[in-house]
Amino acid sequence: MNLFRITKGTSAIAEERLKLILVQDRSLLPPAKFEQMKEDIVDIMSNYFDFNTADIVINIQRESKKTLLEAIIPVLSVKRKTR
């Protein structure tokens, strides 16, 4: 037995797991649809801007009466030739 072993309480694990689970539960789209939508947004935006796909953050949140879709796309440059 190691008297000096520092253990993280299981309650903290429960809390972390719950937060992750609930973020998923609360998002309006199932994960597969969400990924599809993200790809679609990337496709359209890439016609106009250069950006790193990895930097894109997309959140869907429900506030009491309305649903908010937030997309954060750090733009590197504007494309010269837009279609």
Partner 1 sequence: MGRTIVVTAGKGGVGKTTVTANLGALLTKLGNKVVVVDMDIGLRNLDVVMGLENRVVYNIMDVSDGKCKINQALVRDKTLPGLFLLPASQIHTKKDINIDKIVEIISIIENSFDYILLDSPAGIEKGFESASAPAKEALIVVTPDVSSVRDADRVIGILENRGILAISLIVNRYDINLVNRKKMLNADSVVDILGLDLIGMIPEDKSVIESTNKGELLVNYANGSPANKAFENISRRIEGEDVPFLNFNSQRRGIFSLFRRR
Footprint of partner 1 (CB under 8 A): 8-12, 14-15, 17-19, 21-23, 25-28, 61-64
Q: Which helix (H) or strand (E) holds 22?
A: helix 10-26
Q: Considering beta carbons, is residue 32 or 44 the nearer one to partner 1? A: 32
What's the CA gap between 75 and 56, in Å, rounded?
10
Closest approach of Cβ 4 to partner 1, in Å? 17
Q: Considering beta carbons, is residue 14 or 69 the nearer one to partner 1? A: 14
Q: Where are the beta strands (DSSP E) in the chain?
A: 49-51, 57-62, 67-72, 75-78
Q: Considering beta carbons, is residue 64 or 77 the nearer one to partner 1? A: 64
Radius of gyration of the chain (CA): 20
